[in-house]
Chains A and B, each alone.
Chain A
Amino acid sequence: GAGVSQTPSNKVTEKGKYVELRCDPISGHTALYWYRQSLGQGPEFLIYFQGTGAADDSGLPNDRFFAVRPEGSVSTLKIQRTERGDSAVYLCASSLTPGTSGRSGELFFGEGSRLTVL
C-alpha cells in the first residue's frame, strides 16, 4: 500500500508478556517515528529513527521499551514484561526528510496498534 502500515492493529496480552509491534513506512521515507497515545491524550513521542539509527530515543519511558530499524525501512517496537499501564495505541509515522522547520518534515501516520495489557 501507499501509506504507513502497522501490524497488528489490535493486540491483547497478559501482564508480564513480551510484545512486538511492527511498522512499515512509506517507501523512500528515511525518517520513522514511534508515538504512544493513551485514551483522551495527544500522541506522546517515544523514539525517532533517521535511517537505521535511533536519532532520538528520549521519549522511551524505561528500559522495557526498545525499537529497531535494522535495514532502514521496517521498524519494530519491542516491549518487555508488559504492564497494564502500557495499554495504549502505538502510532508510527514516517517522513521524507529529517525534521526541519519546513513543510518537508510533515509526518504521515499509520492507523496505530492498539495494545491492551490485562
Chain B
Amino acid sequence: AQKITQTQPGMFVQEKEAVTLDCTYDTSDQSYGLFWYKQPSSGEMIFLIYQGSYDEQNATEGRYSLNFQKARKSANLVISASQLGDSAMYFCAMRGHNTDKLIFGTGTRLQVFP
C-alpha cells in the first residue's frame, strides 16, 4: 500500500522568506513519482513540481524546489521568496509503479503575511 503523510496542518511565513512544507511517503515500489499541487481558495488543483524516484538531482521550478531524500522517503517542498499569493493549501502526492492514480496527503495550509 502507498501512503503520503503531511504532518503540518498549517504553516505561517513572512513575505519574502523561504518556507519548507514536509512530506513523507511509504511505498514498496522501486519506481515512483512524487508531485506537489497547490490549491487556492478557488478550489482548482495547480501542479507545481515533479520528482521521479530515479532522478539524481532535486527538481526545481522557479521559486519551487523539491528536497528529495530517498533513503528517508521524504519529498519536502521548498518555496523561496514567499509571496502573498502563495497562501493556499499544498498537497503532496505520489504515483507508484504500474498504477495510474495519484495518492494525496491531507495537505498543509500555508499563510503568507506581510
Contacts and interface: CB of A to CB of B under 8 A. Distances in A.
Interface of A: 31, 33, 35, 40-45, 48, 50, 55-56, 59, 89, 91, 93, 98-103, 105-112
Contact of B45 (A31, A91, A100, A102): A91
B100 A31 contact: yes
A48 B52 contact: no
Contacts, number: 73
Contacts of B52: 101-103
B42 A101 contact: no
A11 to B, nearest CB: 14
A105 B101 contact: no
A99 B99 contact: yes
B3 to A, nearest CB: 11
B78 to A, nearest CB: 19
Given A91-B45, A111-B44, A105 B91 contact: no
Interface string B2-23: 0010100000000000000000
Contact of A106 (B35, B42, B96): B35
Contacts of B58: none
A101 to B, nearest CB: 4
B106 interface: yes
- Lowest 6 A-B CB distances belong to which pairs? A99-B100, A42-B104, A109-B45, A101-B33, A45-B101, A111-B44
Given A101-B33, A102-B52, A48 B95 contact: no
A42 B99 contact: no
Contact of B91 (A43, A98, A99, A112): A43
A45 B33 contact: no
